[in-house]
Amino acid sequence: MAEIATTRLTLIARLLSALLLIAGLIVAGWIALQWEPVLLPVRAISIEGEMHGLSREALQQTIGEEIGGGILTQDLATLRARVQSLPWVERATARRIWPDRIQVSVHEHTAIARWNENGLVTERGIVFRPSDGRLPAGLARLGAANDDHAPEVVTRFLDWGSRLLALGLIVDGVRRDARGDWSIVLLGGTDVLLGTDDVERRLQRLITAYGQIEAIGIPTRLDLRYSNGLAVRWLPAGSSGGGPKRIAAN
């Protein structure tokens, strides 16, 4: 019986020791958290990356709002997420530089065109809208009724642009409307209407016939929404105006 009692007392003593140790660690941890910002503060923030559209002031403000605690307890995941939520930012990273610095690296989206009225779009079809409303000048204008169509619109803009450039034509805009109709605007204002169906075949019809069209005059409107031809409105050289004419094609 004495041995059993001794064993129980030993177990109880060990349990109490463990509880005291755990309590001590909790208290020590709490004290460390309270003193860590004082003993190991974040003294400097460094920002890396070229910024053309993103405002450095807006970035610094966003980072400043998220800095709290010391170098060890700073929530880098939340900081990175906040920076990456800024309109021009494609991706961001944040890391600790011992003993007192946080380094934030930023990589911007590269806009290849405007998107609808207030947005920009990248080569991958990512649409973003600068919060300050500033849009770079000189970009082509792309658009659709829904942002989900951006990748398809961008793909066709790049493809059609290269094919028409071989004819000396520069694509200044591509749009897909709510009905699914496609249209192109050439630099200079010429409208190209492709309709909804067989748009690739219709574009090729334009490429094939463009030499004949150009020989007559400067086209202002090219309507390819026909089964075997296209309608052209142009301004003949030396004339103040010109009406629409239809050109048959195979």
For 145-172, write each residue's pLDDT tens digit. 999 999 999 999 999 999 999 999 999 9
For 71-101, write each residue's pLDDT tens digit. 778 888 999 999 998 888 999 999 998 888 9
pLDDT of residue 52: 83
Please identify, in words, the CATH class of the domain defined by 141-248: alpha beta
What is the residue-wise DSSP string for 95-128? Answer: EEETTTEEEEEEEE--EEEEETTTEEEETT--EE
Question: Do 44-108 and 141-248 have matching folds?
Answer: no
- Please, is 168 exposed, middle or buried when counting C-beta atoms within 10 Å of its C-beta (0-12, 13-18, 19+)? exposed
Pairing of strands 111-115, 140-144: parallel
Torsion sign across C-alpha atoms 153, 154, 159, 165: positive
245 CB-near residues (< 8 Å, 6+ apart): 231, 232, 233
What confidence tier does 240 reach under pLDDT thresholds 50, 70, 90?
very low
Q: Quote the pTM value.
A: 0.74
Listed by start position, the domains of the chain span 44-108, 141-248
The CATH superfamily holding the domain 44-108 is: membrane protein fhac (3.10.20.310)
Phi, psi (deg, nearest 5) at residue 5: -65, -40
